[in-house]
Amino acid sequence: MTILGIETSCDETAAAVVRRPAGGGRGEILSNAVFSQIEAHAPFGGVVPEIAARAHVEHLDGLIARALRDAGTDFAGVDGIAATAGPGLIGGVIVGLMTAKGIAAARGLPFIAVNHLEGHALTARLTDDLPFPYLLLLVSGGHSQLLVVEGVGRYRRLGTTIDDAVGEAFDKVAKLMGLGYPGGPAVERIAREGDGARFALPRPMLGREGCDFSFSGLKTAVRQLAEAHAPLSEEDKADIAAAFQIAVADVLSDRCENAMAAANDIIPPGHRRLVVAGGVAANMVLRERLMVSAHAFGYEFVVPPLKLCTDNGAMIAWAGAERMALGLTDPIDTGPRARWPLDPDAAPARGAGVKA
């Protein structure tokens, strides 16, 4: 089964062609075209929804043509069209969704409306053929969640952020130190030169029951620290970045350890794997800490290759393929959704209404 996947929910315009073997097993990425809009948003220090939507309109057709060309195929060689239908910036989601529906209608192809989070959640099956169930830490600019991935469309949420997402916290810390956007890579880079022990920062939720996260208090503490030491020298910035990164690592590993303890009742031995996905999974300090935690709990540690951790079309195509293989296609009048939790039955986390 060969699926064209389209992703437009944030600041990456992406299209990819992915093949799923008939009997199951890992997928084959035939093409994976991504256009990053970072340059267009950088002057504003973050993603501007209106600019993102316009850039998607401008670039999507060309990216789809490129994805098909790179895959050595055309619409006749595709069995279905998948597109992100949410959650995300609604203007961008509409661009991808309408384009996908147009192609599906014109070519008489099945259409699959993919939850962007499900795309991240199933990537480890595309790359590693991971069997269900497994534990997932999803950490990106828009999302921070701990989930047991039980099957396609079946998620049990163990924890979520009650305020900022992890990547968002990295971006805000970078912005207040004038490091530019996106902030995560910049913070990680300067933190290498820093002394993480010079400043004491809070570790929100550490040692508490459950698996929820909170990062806004940490971000505020960083702002106060930066203001108290203004103007910041390069050394100050590096020390603050290092202290912030260690605080995040402490919190994430603590939350993951609680999640692994809780998941032991749900995930049988032999299936105990901690998968980390989302752009923040690029961070080597966090990865190393989470790997240590995973191994201490008898969990295998799995991180998909970086270009599949950040937003891309292959993850949407793959989620579409997994759904279509189960007969789960969608009507052409399926609407875009700004919010779309993976586990709608989960009790809403306090203050977490905006972080689906």
- Residues of the shown chain interacting with ligand KG4 in the complex, contacts defined by CB under 6 A: 10, 140-142, 167-168, 170-171, 182-185, 188, 278-280, 282-283, 310-311
Interaction partner, residue 254 (Zn ion, ligand KG4, none; CB < 5-8 Å by kind): none
Q: By C-alpha distance, which of 279, 326, 339, 348 is closest to 115? A: 339
Interaction partner, residue 310 (ligand KG4, Zn ion, none; CB < 5-8 Å by kind): ligand KG4
Interaction partner, residue 136 (Zn ion, ligand KG4, none; CB < 5-8 Å by kind): none
Write the single-letter amino acid at 101.
K
Residue with tokens 């989302």: 278
The C-alpha torsion from 212 through 216 and 220 to 226, rounded to 10°, is: 90
Q: Which stretch binds Zn ion (CB under 5 A): 140-148, 220-228, 231-239, 265-273?
A: 140-148
Hey, how many other C-beta atoms are within 10 angstroms of the C-beta on 74?
Answer: 11
207 to 236: interface string for Zn ion, x by CB under 5 A: ------------------------------
The C-alpha torsion from 79 through 328 and 304 to 72, rounded to 10°, is: 0
> Is 59 in contact with 15 (CB distance < 8 Å)?
no
Q: By C-alpha distance, which of 119, 114, 163, 152 is closest to 138? A: 119
Cα 302 from Cα 290, distance rounded (Å): 10
Write the single-letter amino acid at 249.
A
- Name the residue nearer to Zn ion (CB basis): 110 or 142: 142
- Name the residue nearer to ligand KG4 (CB basis): 175 or 271: 175
CB 253 → Zn ion: shortest distance, Å?
22
CB 120 → ligand KG4: shortest distance, Å?
7
CB 169 → ligand KG4: shortest distance, Å?
8
- Name the residue nearer to ligand KG4 (CB basis): 168 or 236: 168
CA distances (Å), 88 to each of 4, 131, 243, 344, 346, in order? 20, 28, 31, 16, 20
Cα 212 from Cα 206, distance rounded (Å): 10
The reply to whether 188 sits near Zn ion by the rule CB under 5 A is no
The reply to whether 140 sits near Zn ion by the rule CB under 5 A is yes
CB 16 → Zn ion: shortest distance, Å?
14
296 to 335: interface string for Zn ion, x by CB under 5 A: ---------------x------------------------
> Is 36 in contact with 12 (CB distance < 8 Å)?
yes
- Name the residue nearer to ligand KG4 (CB basis): 284 or 347: 284
Q: By C-alpha distance, which of 292, 299, 317, 309 is closest to 184? A: 309
How many helices and strands in the chain, by DSSP H and E?
Answer: 11, 10
CB 341 → Zn ion: shortest distance, Å?
14
Cα 279 from Cα 283, distance rounded (Å): 8
CB 312 → Zn ion: shortest distance, Å?
9
- Name the residue nearer to Zn ion (CB basis): 199 or 340: 340
Interaction partner, residue 110 (Zn ion, ligand KG4, none; CB < 5-8 Å by kind): none
Interaction partner, residue 92 (Zn ion, ligand KG4, none; CB < 5-8 Å by kind): none
Please provide residue 242's backbone torsions phi and psi, each rounded to the nearest 5 degrees. Answer: -65, -40
CB 24 → ligand KG4: shortest distance, Å?
26
Per DSSP, the three-state class of 146 is strand
CB 317 → ligand KG4: shortest distance, Å?
16
- Name the residue nearer to ligand KG4 (CB basis): 60 or 174: 174
Q: Look up residue 324 and give its two tokens.
A: 């279509």
Residues near Zn ion (CB under 5 A): 140, 311
